[in-house]
């Protein structure tokens, strides 16, 4: 099917706490569908101005919409209700929201479904955690529970085999952190390759192919600096296989019971001994979905409509690899209205404006034909590419970034390079 042809235009309502799904909404609109978006955050009040039709109250457009898309966790209770009323909904269920929001619940659910979760211990008291670490020395990962970026940025991966560094970090920060973190988890550190296995679920089963992706979460090359939402990802599509059978396949029945429709992803550490799931993402990933758009050959509107209807079909995807790189300006990944005021409303220009292939929207708006920075985040664009090899995809994505003119923009230059070592290990262990 031609990506620019719409057989029957539909009406799509995108519902968001913050400006997350504009890139998909923009693509669906360009395919010829009617699109309305709701953004709750006042900080993002100007995001997508001049590009998408925004509404003040999403509930007023439920009857208008053919398909309603919730792009984040936290909308599950609404999605459940609307599905029971017969509406076509992508995203969320009360059950899947909890698997992501409540780290302990999510890992217990994976364990119930037969997944081999690493040892983990939950705490709501720092002194108790320090006593535990002293009695049970080893490498741990400190993971705050909670959804906010501030909490997630405090994740710390221990490097000392006896756990001394974790003890020191917790001991010296316990008073400050107690004001910010209500509960947290110590997870036994696993040596291996970090890989995520994701798939689109139609309410009954997963749609093939499955997405295998490798995220780069830290701000600087070499996995240094603070955690971000994500600075870029390498991915490819796969028809089932060992990774899928050991993870997503085992959770299909509980997802079906909850009537979940949307993208479901399990991040894992794999090594020669096994596959160890770390955490669940029960929603579109960002910038994952934009990179997936690069690899999906079906029109996005048609795909979302068929997914919401519970149809069983195979997604048409490109062969090879896709790479995506986040392009941002300060204060990303932090928030500072004062710092961003220097950049807000700046134009994003292109040396060759006739070739914008692989350019995906971040927090931007359109003013007099110019793409401009909007919102408060500094999250400007996601640039994507495809290639039959990782080298080819990487070369193309960085050539596309050279087409962008934006003051003080930054991005990681090593997205995808871990593949050169990781692929050898994954192959030797029998996972690819």
Q: What is the mean pLDDT of the chain?
A: 92
- Would you call 304 exposed, middle or buried from its count of C-beta atoms within 10 A (0-12, 13-18, 19+)? buried
Judge contact between 193 and 267, C-beta under 8 A: no
Question: What's the whole-number mean pLDDT along residues 359-380?
Answer: 96
Q: What are phi and psi of 310, to 5 degrees?
A: 80, 20
16 token code pair: 């968001």
Whether residue 420 is predicted with pLDDT greater than 60 in this model: the reply is yes
Q: Is the peptide bond before 289 cis (omega within 30 degrees of 0)?
A: no
pTM over 0.75: yes
Looking at the structure, give the CATH architecture of the domain made up of residues 321-423.
Answer: Alpha-Beta Complex (3.90)
Domain spans, the chain: 119-188, 321-423
Q: How far apart are CA 330 and CA 307, in angstroms?
A: 37
Residue 147 pLDDT? 56
Judge contact between 73 and 101, C-beta under 8 A: yes
Whether residue 191 is predicted with pLDDT greater than 50 in this model: the reply is yes
Domain 119-188: CATH superfamily is: ATP-grasp fold, A domain (3.30.1490.20)
Alpha carbon dihedral 13, 15, 21, 22, in 10-degree steps, equals 60
Q: What are phi and psi of 54, to 5 degrees?
A: -100, 150
Judge contact between 286 and 20, C-beta under 8 A: yes
Residue 193 pLDDT? 95
Residue 151 pLDDT? 55
Question: For residue range 180-190, what is the model confidence (pLDDT) as tens digits?
Answer: 788 888 988 88
Q: How far apart are CA 303 and CA 26, in angstroms?
A: 15
Q: How far apart are CA 239 and CA 207, in angstroms?
A: 10
Question: For residue range 219-278, what is the model confidence (pLDDT) as tens digits?
Answer: 999 999 988 989 999 999 998 789 999 999 999 999 999 999 999 999 999 999 999 999
Sequence-ordered strand ranges (E) for 28-106: 34-39, 53-54, 67-70, 88-90
Question: What's the whole-number mean pLDDT along residues 114-123?
Answer: 88
């Amino acid at each position: 099917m031609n990506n620019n042809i719409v057989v029957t235009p539909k009406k799509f309502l995108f519902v968001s706490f913050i400006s997350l799904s504009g890139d998909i909404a923009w693509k669906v609109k360009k395919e010829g569908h009617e699109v309305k978006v709701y953004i709750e955050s006042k900080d993002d009040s100007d995001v997508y101005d001049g590009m998408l039709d925004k509404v003040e109250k999403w509930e007023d457009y439920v009857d208008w919409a053919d398909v309603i898309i919730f792009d984040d966790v936290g909308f599950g209770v609404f999605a459940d209700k609307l599905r029971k009323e017969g509406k076509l909904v992508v995203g969320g269920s009360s059950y899947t929201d909890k698997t992501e929001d409540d780290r302990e619940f999510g890992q217990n659910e994976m364990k119930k479904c037969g997944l081999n979760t690493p040892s983990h211990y939950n705490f709501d008291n720092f002194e108790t955690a320090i006593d535990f670490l002293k009695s049970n020395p080893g490498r741990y990962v400190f993971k705050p529970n909670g959804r906010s970026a501030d909490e997630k940025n405090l994740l710390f991966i221990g490097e000392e085999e006896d756990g001394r560094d974790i003890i020191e970090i917790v001991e010296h920060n316990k008073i400050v952190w107690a004001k910010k973190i209500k509960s947290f988890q110590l997870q036994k550190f696993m040596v291996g390759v970090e890989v995520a296995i994701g798939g689109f679920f139609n309410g009954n089963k997963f749609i093939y192919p499955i997405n295998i992706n490798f995220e780069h979460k830290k701000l600087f090359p070499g996995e240094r600096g603070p955690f971000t939402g994500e600075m870029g990802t390498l991915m490819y599509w796969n028809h089932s296989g060992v990774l899928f059978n050991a993870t997503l396949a085992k959770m299909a029945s509980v997802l079906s019971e909850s009537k979940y429709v949307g993208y479901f992803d399990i991040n894992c550490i794999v090594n020669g001994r096994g596959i160890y799931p770390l955490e669940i993402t029960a929603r579109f990933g960002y910038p994952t979905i934009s990179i997936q758009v690069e690899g999906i050959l079906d029109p996005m509107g048609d795909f979302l409509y068929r997914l919401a209807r519970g149809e069983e079909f195979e997604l048409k995807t490109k062969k090879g690899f896709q790479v995506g790189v986040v392009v941002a300006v300060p204060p990303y990944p932090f928030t500072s209205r004062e710092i961003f005021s220097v950049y807000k409303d700046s134009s994003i220009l292109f040396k060759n404006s006739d070739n914008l292939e692989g350019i995906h929207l971040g927090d931007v708006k359109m003013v007099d034909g110019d793409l401009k920075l909007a919102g408060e985040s500094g999250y400007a664009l996601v640039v994507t590419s495809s290639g039959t090899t990782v080298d080819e995809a990487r070369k193309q994505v960085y050539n596309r970034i050279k087409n962008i003119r934006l003051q003080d923009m930054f991005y990681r230059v090593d997205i995808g390079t871990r593949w050169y070592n990781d692929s050898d290990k994954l192959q030797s262990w029998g996972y690819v």
